[in-house]
């Protein structure tokens, strides 16, 4: 395998129709390939507006099978450009069973694997439990021609257990397709606290596991149905090295391809200096399987 990888992420608005959003994603994938990227990550549910702001049974019509029309297009793009793609699909598994699913395509266009979002939020404006069944794929890296990818999705990014299990299973990079933003009613101070917490928790996963992290968010205001409220997706996508250092990032509103080089040997060097895996007291961690310790 190559000792140096070019990894990239697409920060984009997703508030248009499916065809327009997909065309923008594909255009940015072409841009990544032109920059010799080995890997490109797309935002969570990038094919359309964030429909989980309301509970509407008609939204289930947005779901697609895997494989399906969009995966066929992305498969063709991956094969044509010889690039690994991490996409995000509202999956219809069968009638009445739906998932928020990341799909990974290898450089030959084959489907390397899928990851179904494990942690499902249910908050004002983020009514995902109405739509998504929690994943059953476990925290297992997806093996590709460029290495093992620890793909997780959005709300998963707040849980250190998920990142650790991916690392223990051999993930070489942690990847978080994301759709997160601000409530317009929050103060500027609260918005800053939320953004700082979001960046900090993901950088901490890089530090605690000695792994690069790709965090890929959408941008733009998306109005809630039948309301003047909505979510202002805050962008700020970034890529870190294995010590949590920011290698490249975007601001809160720009459409941008982020790209940088990472050395495959970086994780080994960092783990030799900070041997967290060596010093874990695994015999004392049994209570982590409990909901709460009374």
pLDDT digits (tens, 9 = 90+) for 194-215: 999 999 999 999 999 999 999 9
The answer as to whether 164 is a domain residue is yes
29, 40, 205, 261, 262 from 265: Cα distances, Å = 26, 20, 18, 12, 9
Q: Is the pLDDT of residue 81 over 90?
A: yes
User: What global pTM score does this model have?
Assistant: 0.97
The answer as to whether 25 is a domain residue is yes
Token pair 């996508």 is at which residue? 237
The answer as to whether 205 is a domain residue is yes
Q: Is the pLDDT of residue 227 over 90?
A: no
The answer as to whether 273 is a domain residue is yes
Q: Is the pLDDT of residue 55 over 90?
A: yes
Residue-averaged pLDDT of the chain = 97
Distance CA 233, CA 290 (A): 34
Beta carbons within 10 angstroms of residue 83's beta carbon: 23
> What's residue 133's pLDDT?
98
Residue range 75-99: mean pLDDT, rounded: 98
- CATH number, domain with residue 23: 3.60.110.10
Q: What amino acid positions are annotated as catalytic residues?
A: 44, 117, 154
Q: Is the pLDDT of residue 78 over 90?
A: yes
Residue range 219-241: mean pLDDT, rounded: 94
pLDDT band (50, 70, 90) for residue 232? very high
87, 88, 100, 158, 277 from 46: Cα distances, Å = 8, 7, 11, 20, 35
Number of separate domains in the chain = 1
Are the CB atoms for 52 and 19 separated by under 8 Å? Answer: no
> What's residue 226's pLDDT?
78
Degrees, nearest 5: CA angle 205-238-67? 85
Residue range 232-242: mean pLDDT, rounded: 98
> What's residue 265's pLDDT?
94
> What's residue 282's pLDDT?
96
> What's residue 113's pLDDT?
98
> What's residue 1's pLDDT?
80
Domain that holds residue 153: 4-289
By the 10 Å C-beta count (0-12 exposed, 13-18 middle, 19+ buried), 243 is classed as middle
> What's residue 228's pLDDT?
82
Residue range 59-87: mean pLDDT, rounded: 97
pLDDT band (50, 70, 90) for residue 112? very high
The answer as to whether 294 is a domain residue is no
């Amino acid at each position: 395998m190559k000792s140096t990888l070019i990894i990239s992420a697409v920060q984009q608005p997703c508030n248009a129709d499916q065809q327009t959003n997909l065309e923008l994603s594909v255009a940015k994938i072409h841009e990544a390939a032109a920059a010799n990227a080995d890997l490109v990550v797309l935002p969570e549910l990038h094919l359309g507006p964030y429909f989980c702001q309301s509970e509407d049974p008609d939204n289930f019509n947005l779901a697609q099978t895997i494989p399906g029309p969009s995966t066929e297009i992305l498969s063709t793009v991956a094969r044509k450009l010889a690039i690994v793609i991490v996409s995000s699909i509202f999956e219809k598994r069968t009638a009445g069973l739906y998932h928020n699913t990341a799909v990974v395509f290898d450089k030959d266009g084959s489907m390397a694997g899928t990851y179904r979002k494990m942690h499902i939020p249910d908050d004002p404006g983020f009514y995902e439990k109405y739509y998504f069944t929690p994943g059953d794929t476990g925290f297992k890296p997806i093996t590709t021609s460029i290495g093992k990818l620890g793909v997780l999705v959005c709300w998963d990014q707040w849980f250190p257990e998920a990142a650790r299990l991916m690392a223990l299973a051999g993930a070489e990079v942690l990847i978080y397709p994301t759709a997160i933003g601000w409530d317009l009613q929050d103060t500027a101070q609260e918005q800053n606290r939320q953004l700082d917490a979001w960046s900090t928790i993901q950088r901490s996963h890089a530090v605690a596991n000695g792994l690069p992290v790709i965090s890929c968010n959408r941008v733009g205001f998306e109005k809630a149905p039948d309301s003047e409220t909505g979510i202002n997706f805050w962008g700020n996508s970034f890529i870190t090295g294995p010590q949590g250092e920011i290698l490249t990032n975007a601001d809160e509103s720009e459409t941008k391809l982020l790209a940088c080089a990472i050395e495959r040997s970086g994780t080994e060097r960092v783990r030799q200096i900070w041997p967290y895996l060596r010093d874990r007291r695994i015999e004392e961690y049994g209570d982590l399987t409990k909901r709460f310790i009374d």
